[in-house]
Amino acid sequence: MSFPKSSFIPVLLIIGFFSFNVWAKVDMTMEDIVEVYLDESADIRCQYVFSEHPRAVMIQWFVRNPGSRTRERIYYGDDTLQIVDNGTDFMGRITVSDIRDKEGVLLTIQNVQLSDEREFFCQVNGMAAGNGEGKTHLRVFDPPESPVIEGVLAGISVTNDLPSRIASCEARNGFPKPNITWYRDSRPLNPAHGKINVVTLVTRESSGFYSVQSELQYKVAKEDKDALFSCEVSYYVPGAARTAESKGINITVHYPTTVVKLWMESPRGLVKEGDTVELRCQGDGNPPPPFSFHRDQDSETLEARDDTLVLSEVTRGDSGVYQCRSLDLDSNQEVTGDAQLSVHYLDPAVVVPKDTEVMFKGENLTATCNALSSLETATVWFKNKQKVGTGHMLFLHDASYATAGEYICEVTVPSLPGLHTSGSVHIIVQGAPQMKDSDREVKMEQGLGKWVNLSCEAHSQPLPSISWSVSGSQSWREVLTRATEQNTISLVSIKVTSDITAFCNATNEMGTETKAFSIRAIPMVTSTAPYLPAEGNGVIILVVILCILLLAILSSLLYFLHKKGKIPCGRSGKQEITKENANKDEIVVEMKTDTKTEDSVLLKGINGDKNGTSNQVTIGYLSCTKTGAYCLQFLLSPV
């Protein structure tokens, strides 16, 4: 801005001049509203265009005081003087400067305060060139703090006739005044008569900020127990509107009980005697009403803990209908729930015949096993842990000794595996003795004078006794009798003196069974020569021949040596010629002086007999004739 040097004219004169210069014109351009955040700086432009070039221009800025029509000047400037007026709110915070490239001035307000929200007037006076005025409304903004929501902790009953206070929300220190909106599950709640009231309290703080408190009054329904309530604060900022949402809160809704349910919590499935049963009761009201438990329609109250009735070690007598009753205090109505309890049972098994039953061989018997149960049962018969039948009847046909034994029936309840019982019967089968191998006559041969053992084994119930009759031998005796539970065994030892026939009779009260033996006596050949295997003969003959040959050579050698006098003859003594560590077959030649009349050479050799304790066997005798005093003994020792 440029002020012509000679244009200073007193204010009074300006006003007078202004009144008659109507033909001259100034076009003013100012923004209606300038928006700014608190504490920031605001720029207000004042642009003007003169229709006639002015000789001097005078600029003044005014503000309108809030709540009054009076204006206060805050700035004066012409081409010689620029004054920021003393004693105003803007002292020290405003500057006025030229607008670059354009005819006009820029008012800058630093550190904007809430109280700066006013109308700013720009007055331009060009004397004869005319004058003009424009205004701008400065708006100041400061966002409020985040909204704080608080729910009502106490339960709210759906039976309340009027909307109840359920939550309050506060947004503090905002400028300008923020708004609060309520939401239920993200949907806005608009006030509705008799259903939703919103009570708002706006406080102007001494600092100039606004704090808004909002209370939601709401007629709750049962569905609201799971709803989430929240509030939202909305406020303006320069050039925009913003919102901030609070967290969601729950409310506790109280509603009457209309339905009561009673059910068996444990055990799962069927109940058997001895089980501990838990019946639980639940109503659909909130808070849960107190319950009482009853048997059938009885007025007597069963002892229970809260919502659970525990029946320990139930019996079939506990079966029946149980009832849970709840009295709603609001509506004063009794609501009940029923549950049927069926306690299943399986009585001990009754077996017929009981304990022990005696059967005769060949007889038939039907055994039964029954156990009373509230459920369908299954019966299996076992003998020696083997399954022998199913069903509650067991048919024993044509009894034999194998039939005898302990029969166990096991009764189970397929639908309730915990239930099972068992019973047993011991079957004894009586009959005539049964001899082992009685059907064939035992024939055997034995050397005369030898002993033979004959045995008989018989079984029966009652136990058989065994007796023998032997013909053909005077010399026999029973060497063993043994009786087990069902068997009797007898063993006799007989000397074979001639052909023998023997019988053994197994006898009890029920009968006799006989087993026959016949023994043919064979005369003994009194040969003491040991038996030689045929194939060994050839080898032995060969060895004998070789020995004779060797003997002949040795004899000649000895005779020759004797003649030469190398070996003393006729003296008592023994010399051994030992070939140490020779081949596998070691030959020991032993020379003995023998004074006995008969000299002999004993030849020993390896025999093929593997089982014999001795590996040496006598294979024959050779008479020593020529050597006289010498006897040669050949030992063929095996390795």
Ligand X SMILES: *[C@@H]1O[C@H](CO)[C@@H](O)[C@H](O)[C@H]1NC(C)=O
Q: Which neighbouring-strand residues pair with 453?
A: 493
Q: Which neighbouring-strand residues pair with 36?
A: 140
245: Cα within 13 Å, side-chain hemisphere: 13
In this chain, which stretch among 197-205, 228-236, 317-325, 559-567 interacts with ligand X, using CB under 6 A?
228-236
Closest contact distance (angstroms) between CB of 391 and ligand X is 16
Pick between residue 47 and residue 246 the one whose CB is nearest to ligand X: 246
Say how far apart CA 126 and CA 128 lie, in whole Å: 6
Pick one of 364, 390, 415, 481: the residue that binds ligand X (CB under 6 A): 364
**Site for ligand X, residues 449 to 478, rule: CB under 6 A:** 451, 453, 467, 469
Are the beta carbons of 64 and 119 closer than 8 angstroms?
Answer: yes
By CB under 6 A, tell whether 366 contacts ligand X: no
Pick between residue 480 and residue 561 the one whose CB is nearest to ligand X: 480
Q: Are strands 187-189 and 277-283 parallel, antiparallel or unpaired?
A: unpaired
Are the beta carbons of 144 and 173 closer than 8 angstroms?
Answer: yes
Which residue has tokens 């299996």? 380
85: its two tokens: 């007026």
By CB under 6 A, tell whether 76 contacts ligand X: no
- Binding string, 134-163, against ligand X, x = CB under 6 A? ------------------------------
Pick one of 199, 479, 542, 545: the residue that binds ligand X (CB under 6 A): 479
- Binding string, 242-261, against ligand X, x = CB under 6 A? ------x-x-----------
Closest contact distance (angstroms) between CB of 70 and ligand X is 19
Q: In Å, how far are 532, 604, 606 from 609, measured between CA atoms? A: 9, 14, 9
By CB under 6 A, tell whether 326 contacts ligand X: no
SS3 label, residue 557: helix
Pick between residue 304 and residue 458 the one whose CB is nearest to ligand X: 458
By CB under 6 A, tell whether 363 contacts ligand X: yes
Pick between residue 401 and residue 451 the one whose CB is nearest to ligand X: 451
Say how far apart CA 330 and CA 327 lie, in whole Å: 9
Pick between residue 364 and residue 578 the one whose CB is nearest to ligand X: 364
The backbone region for 570, taken as left when phi is positive above 0, alpha when psi lies in -120 to 50, beta otherwise, is left
By CB under 6 A, tell whether 95 contacts ligand X: no
Are the beta carbons of 458 and 486 closer than 8 angstroms?
Answer: no
Cα–Cα nearest to 170, from 209, 140, 207, 218: 209
By CB under 6 A, tell whether 234 contacts ligand X: yes
Distance of alpha carbon 324 from the chain centroid: 36
Q: Which long-range contacts (CB under 8 A, 24 or more apart) does 581-587 make?
A: 584/639, 585/636, 585/637, 585/638, 585/639, 586/637, 586/639, 587/634, 587/635, 587/636
Pick between residue 47 and residue 505 the one whose CB is nearest to ligand X: 505
**Site for ligand X, residues 500 to 519, rule: CB under 6 A:** 503, 505, 512, 514
Q: How big is the site for ligand X, counted in residues (CB under 6 A)?
A: 25
Closest contact distance (angstroms) between CB of 431 and ligand X is 13
Closest contact distance (angstroms) between CB of 160 and ligand X is 20
Say how far apart CA 178 and CA 203 lie, in whole Å: 11
Pick between residue 133 and residue 363 the one whose CB is nearest to ligand X: 363
By CB under 6 A, tell whether 241 contacts ligand X: yes
Binding site for ligand X (CB under 6 A): 86, 178-179, 228, 234-236, 241, 248, 250, 362-364, 397, 451, 453, 467, 469, 479-480, 493, 503, 505, 512, 514
